[in-house]
Structure 1
Amino acid sequence: MAISPTLESSQRLMPYNADLDVILRIFYWPELDWYANVKQEFVKWIMGTPNEFSICNFSFLFDASAKTSMLQADQVVQMHSAMANAANNGIFNLFDYGVPISQYIVLNVTWKNLVQDSLRELQHYSRSDLKKLLKIKFQDEEAEDAGGVHKEFFMLLLDPKYSMFKEFEESRELWFADITYETENMCYLIGVLCGLAIYNFTIINLPFPLALYKKLLNKPVDLSDLQQLSPAEVNSLQALLDYDGENFSETFDLNFEISRQVFGVTQTLSLMPNGEDIGFTLENRQQFVELSNYSLVYPLDYAWDHTPS
């Protein structure tokens, strides 16, 4: 195919683009859907021979819509495979142990203890099990989960009121809650739930700021990234750096402590050991801002280190 050499040359150049900060969307092919059925091309690609030409070998051409189509096709294939394997293995398991293997992930939960129940139920499943179709069963309810039930489940569980996330009133965006990530299990639950929602074609609103996606790309998160999340707080910190007036310490009268709202109650957090005894000065203001910035980023760093990819 005449187009193949050109695409292969472009693909060889892609690793260098990251170093040059090239805007990737200039490589997108918006008319790709006119050229090929992405879902069908994907299925043929994973079942084809290694040397056979496929547009799926050149993913840098795919815009968001094309990537979504390809991921949906991949999810359908993986889900079908996982359920077929469970059905086949279930027969042998039934003969050997008298217990069949379910083709589904079934989470039995209650309204009262939604988070704890979900965590308990998910711990029964391996990573390979998570590729099966999800079904949610609320206790004492007879509704059959045909999709609507597990959408309600995700919307409830990922709601800020369950403390896995917190919502910033000014920006209406979500961030990782300061107090939730006390156990690795809770971090694991967050990762699994977000993955299951996407994998089961459930559209939920999780308005994360750009800082999270920079973290996905292993890029550093700094004060400017948090401007989107909490403009007022970031502006206050920037004002501390910009101030060049007299009587610096007396003007601000701060120490190395900050306040956070937790369930409507103000809590004071020390930015460093004995922070309550360390005064805020012109000489240490950069350190103060960096530590305050880290206090915002820390829940994300901790969650990231303990959340499955």
Structure 2
Amino acid sequence: MDVDALKTAALVAQHGSFTAAARVIDVDASTVSRTVASVENKIGLRLFQRNARSLTLTEEGAAYLSRVGPLLLELDHAADEARQLRELPSGTLRMTASVAFAYEVIVPHLAAFRDLYPKIIVELLPTDATVDILAEKIDLAIRLASAPEGDVISTKLMSTRYRVCASPDYLDRTGAIDHPTDLQTHDCLRFALPEFRSTWKFRRGTDDIAVPVGGTLLISNALGLRRAARDGLGPVLLGDWLVKDDLAQGRLVDLFPDWECSATTFDTGAWALYPSREFLPRKVRAMIDFLKPRLRTAGR
């Protein structure tokens, strides 16, 4: 069936005459009449009752066009969306992440993102506080945690692991730390969050232990903890994405490379969270699709 012909028939029903519909699409009334007749022939129904002075919908015509009308609108919407895919997404993207993750992982990729999507304005809001993304009108939040819960949509960007590290200088002063339980006698550097400040967890094969930790220095920011560890102030529990360069370059030493380490659960990752919406804005989809392959590579 010719979609344009169906649109013409719907237009006649809307305006009540061939002449009025012809004026809308700028053709002759006779052309509109022939188009409607062709539709009627193809579907085997008379859509309009015609006489010399009036034109009215038949019962069958009203039923048919009431079903066809929404389909025609949906076809128009689908065409509009397809055309938009040829255009670069635009607008302001408000996103948030922890301070350390934003600076160490997100910011290094923003130049490449800007080259790909020059029409998107990125408003990055680093914070270690848990932000209400609905109340704060956040389009995209990156959270480091186990699988998120609640009335949000999420997708995993990368898996994360935690490592317990110390500087070579610290180990020279205090001696080797051979087992996780040895940490109980050390002045550990602790994240100032309830789940991080008192117990660190370790797992290796069938061994699964929780080690009480203490120390005289608590810091609420992972970048500060890393600096303190580099300066030889004690052992620290940090994400692998934050310390991998320090480990590679010898600024820090992985104390327990054969153990899984955590303060919460062992299955953690970086998750992209966004408010529940019927349609995901293209600017948000662009950022998620951009980050996924880059962060997964960085997390290896």
What TM-score do the two structures reach when normalised by structure 2?
0.21
Is the helix fraction higher in 1 or 2? 1
Is the strand fraction higher in 1 or 2? 2
Q: Which has the higher contact order (CA 8 A, sep 6+)?
A: 2
Asked which structure has the greater CA Rg, the reply is 2
